[in-house]
Structure 1
């Protein structure tokens, strides 16, 4: 298995170049095809705007989006030109960011998107909860790229946060193209004693054996969190190990028309410092 179709979400934020570079580098390694998908949300109309003002605002918004799309396409084409051996294509979808990206993700091996940047002066044209909603809406592995930092390597030193859940297993399986190429894979079980029935006598042994049959050489360790804060424990362990990729399950549910993330998942979304591959 390899990533033969990689979709990277493109928005109006300049940090899209980091996502593009990661997508193209991965495709160069896996022989994949990169789809740059420009998908944003419509410009909201103020409630006080009358019919005449609404028409003018809509026209102005459409012009801004056309300009942003043209600029993003130029960035994508320039980035793709640096990888002449990688096939790529450009797509635009004005149906709304979440709907458009979710649809394209169905026919991809890997989806790449960005962590939300709080308090940013730059309007990326997607909602603050876009990435959170996306990971709970798709079954395709989602690679989230932090809004800050440089990522010259990806998947050389991997931390697999393991809790024996279906979500974690889907993430591990979805990360196999990266895990099989990694120099170091650390399977880390946090607070295994809190759910002994899920892990068996040797926490992490089963997933390590599973990975070994795919050619992945992994090391197992157990870690304790501080006051049950698994998210912070994952980030701390990743920093200590010099990790350049975290692989983990994503947890959440729908409540009153709003998707709600689990505690550890939310911590990672808010505080990630390296790319994170997640599956729900």
Structure 2
């Protein structure tokens, strides 16, 4: 299995060029068709919004976003031609929390960006990234807003806890894993599982090895005072990993999304790209 159809979310944020380069790198590696979907924050049209955002403000905002859209289209198409990658550029005026999950369902892999609270253009919609991961049904590769990533997937750290979400993420990431120089199956407090027997690191490592994955196991027990998210990020740096693979834990209720502590920590503090599946 390979990623043959890749969708990358395009916006007007400062981190957009790095995200495009990451998407180009991955599309070239897998000889994939790369679709760029430009979809940005859509101001509400309710009566209250009409007061707080008067017509002249909305007109200026729409004009600026149209300029962004034209510039992004040109940059993206030139990048495809430069790298010799088959692809297309699209845009949607639908609300992002509807447009992106809907478009993602036809993709093998979705690429999006981490939210940067210091960049206003990084805001796409309330809980945009969380909603995308939990609702699109596809693996989502998140690119941090800070840093550059000349290689993604050379050394992979898999956050393994034996759960359904972790299993889904590992199998969704197989195209990366079979090409990686090394894959580390990393478990925290594996022997302290209170829910009974589970698929341990050795079992998933053996299953991956049958696919030709070069895999090693790292397990840490007795961790009590350090949050698992912080431990995962620290060990990722120690391993020299350039990609984290993990399950996304959470569920939606009404208009709020509830995420697990480790998921939230990684979304806030990622240091390398993260492939998440739900």
TM-score (norm 2): 0.92
Quote the residue 2:189 is aligned against. Answer: 191
Q: 1:118 to 1:124 in 2, by over 3 A?
A: closer
CA distance in 2, matches of 1:253, 1:74: 38
Q: CA deviation at 1:73?
A: 1.0
Q: 1:36 to 1:198 in 2, by over 3 A?
A: farther
Deviation string 1:36-71 (CA, Å, 9 cap, x unpaired) is 0001121246837459x8444443332222111111
Quote the residue 2:93 is aligned against. Answer: 94
Quote the residue 2:142 is aligned against. Answer: 144
Where structure 1 has 5 or more consecutive residues not aligned to the other structure, the ranges are none
CA distance in 1, matches of 2:249, 2:107: 21
Q: CA deviation at 1:26?
A: 1.2
Q: Please tell me whether residue 271 in structure 1 is matched to residue 266 in structure 2.
A: no
Q: CA deviation at 1:127?
A: 2.7
Quote the residue 2:25 is aligned against. Answer: 25
Secondary structure of 1:123's match? Answer: helix
Secondary structure of 2:83's match? Answer: coil
Quote the residue 1:168 is aligned against. Answer: 166
Quote the residue 2:129 is aligned against. Answer: 131
Quote the residue 2:81 is aligned against. Answer: 81
Quote the residue 2:115 is aligned against. Answer: 116
Deviation string 1:201-258 (CA, Å, 9 cap, x unpaired) is xx31111111112111200120143436211111011011111000000001123420
Q: 1:178 to 1:236 in 2, by over 3 A?
A: same
Q: 1:22 to 1:41 in 2, by over 3 A?
A: same
CA distance in 2, matches of 1:116, 1:48: 23
Deviation string 1:98-126 (CA, Å, 9 cap, x unpaired) is 21110111000000000001233x42351
CA RMSD after TM alignment: 2.0
CA distance in 2, matches of 1:22, 1:198: 39
Count of residue correspondences: 275
Q: Please tell me whether residue 103 in structure 1 is matched to residue 102 in structure 2.
A: yes
Quote the residue 1:154 is aligned against. Answer: 152
Q: CA deviation at 1:193?
A: 2.2
CA distance in 2, matches of 1:198, 1:135: 28
Q: 1:23 to 1:49 in 2, by over 3 A?
A: closer
The answer to whether the Cα contact below 8 Å between 2:116 and 2:122 also exists between their aligned partners in 1 is no
The answer to whether the Cα contact below 8 Å between 2:115 and 2:122 also exists between their aligned partners in 1 is no
Q: 1:70 to 1:213 in 2, by over 3 A?
A: same
Q: CA deviation at 1:138?
A: 1.7
Q: Please tell me whether residue 213 in structure 1 is matched to residue 210 in structure 2.
A: yes
